[in-house]
Amino acid sequence: MVRQLKTRILITRAVFDEVLAYLRLHFDVEDNQSDVPFSADELVRKLADKDGALTVPTDRIDGALLKACPTLKAVCNIAVGYNNIDLDACTAAGVMACNTPGVLDDTTADTAWALMLATARRVVESDAWLRRGEWTGWSLQDWLGTDVHHANLGIIGMGRIGQAVGRRARGFDMQVIYHNRHRLPIDVEKAANAQYVSKEALLGSADFVVLTLPYALENHHYIAEAELALMKPTAILINIARGGLVDDAALVDALQTGRIAGAGLDVFENEPALNPAFIQLDNVVLTPHIGSATRATRLRMAMLAAQNLVLALTGGTPPNLLNPNV
């Protein structure tokens, strides 16, 4: 009698113990609890005999990988973004692809506000100054920042996260404007406390510009030299979405020359190898892609990805299937 082999999966990075235990109930699991990222070649070798994978945004799933991994049936990303996955190639190969929307909206919106407040009120810069022992007494004109309350908040990309950012602005009595590929229904606009405007109008009038739109090739360098030139010299740019949406070299130049007042950045082009010029700037707050980084939220994300994978490989329909035509 031939023993049927258990379905095999790869978890590409370290996950919470609860998630690992859940997946081991269903599959033969190869994990990576050492959390050392796989190179592109290593990822292909690891997936060559696997039925499914739990991936992260740094894992590139493209046509070449899929061709080398013919047994692969499902790839479930621990992220709401999925620009690391070639959906067309997955569909052509009959591979289901999933993401984890919804569970990180509020946490990521909180991060936008953390960056706004830290940048506007020069929290990081003044903290470093204090720690260096340079504070010798109070002065009326020390560390003058920018008010957040009553300011004009511009949100580009008004999906779930953008709407959550907008709702929080009520507590600061801000005027909220937004730009989106499609205008939202009136009731959604009211709930998000937001008014629709053109991209140019938003850039020209917002005191804070927050990016929450998804990355796609057509959005590459969505904010570049021309867009930065439209912004107020007192404006602050916040990016909690994806690196590549902003031309980082153009942003560095705008910050160095005072064309805009500051920036709060959680994501970068070519991260983690960010533009080194950012490190030398005092008017930018930098965080290492921590938008969803609370334990509760990251656990929910990883568990949702795991649940997607279980359904995909046991005959069900994952709730977050990105390519239903597969």
Question: Quick one: pLDDT at residue 28?
Answer: 97
Tokens of 4: 């049927």
Assign 297 to helix, strand or coil: helix
Assign 253 to helix, strand or coil: helix
Question: Quick one: pLDDT at residue 5?
Answer: 62
Q: What percent of the chain has pLDDT over 90?
A: 96
CA distance 108 to 294: 10
Q: Decide if 24 contacts 17 (C-beta within 8 A).
A: no
Q: Which stretch of 1-10, 297-306, 315-324 has the lowest confidence by average pLDDT?
A: 1-10
Q: Decide if 21 contacts 41 (C-beta within 8 A).
A: no
pLDDT band for position 6 (cuts 50, 70, 90): confident
Question: Quick one: pLDDT at residue 298?
Answer: 98
Assign 54 to helix, strand or coil: strand
Tokens of 326: 């597969």
Residues making up the chain, counted from first to last: 326
Q: Decide if 166 contacts 196 (C-beta within 8 A).
A: no
pLDDT band for position 175 (cuts 50, 70, 90): very high
Give me the mean pLDDT over the 63-91 stretch. 97
Which of the residues are catalytic?
A: 242, 271, 289
Question: Quick one: pLDDT at residue 1?
Answer: 39
CA distance 194 to 141: 34
pLDDT digits (tens, 9 = 90+) for 190-204: 888 899 999 999 999
Q: Where are the beta strands (DSSP E) in the chain?
A: 8-11, 28-30, 52-55, 74-77, 96-98, 152-156, 175-179, 195-196, 208-211, 236-239, 262-265, 284-286
pLDDT digits (tens, 9 = 90+) for 33-68: 999 999 999 999 999 999 999 999 999 999 999 999
Residue 2 reports pLDDT greater than 80: no
Dihedral, CA atoms, 293, 107, 302, 188, nearest 10 degrees? -150
pLDDT digits (tens, 9 = 90+) for 229-288: 999 999 999 999 999 999 999 999 999 999 999 999 999 999 999 999 999 999 999 999
As beta bridge partners, residue 321 has 98
Tokens 């983690």 belong to which residue?
272
Q: Are strands 284-286 and 208-211 parallel, antiparallel or unpaired?
A: unpaired
Question: Quick one: pLDDT at residue 192?
Answer: 85
Q: Where are the beta strands (DSSP E) in 16-131?
A: 28-30, 52-55, 74-77, 96-98
In the chain the domains, ranked by start, together with CATH numbers, are: 8-102+295-313 (3.40.50.720), 105-286 (3.40.50.720)
Better-scored residue on pLDDT, 47 or 4 = 47
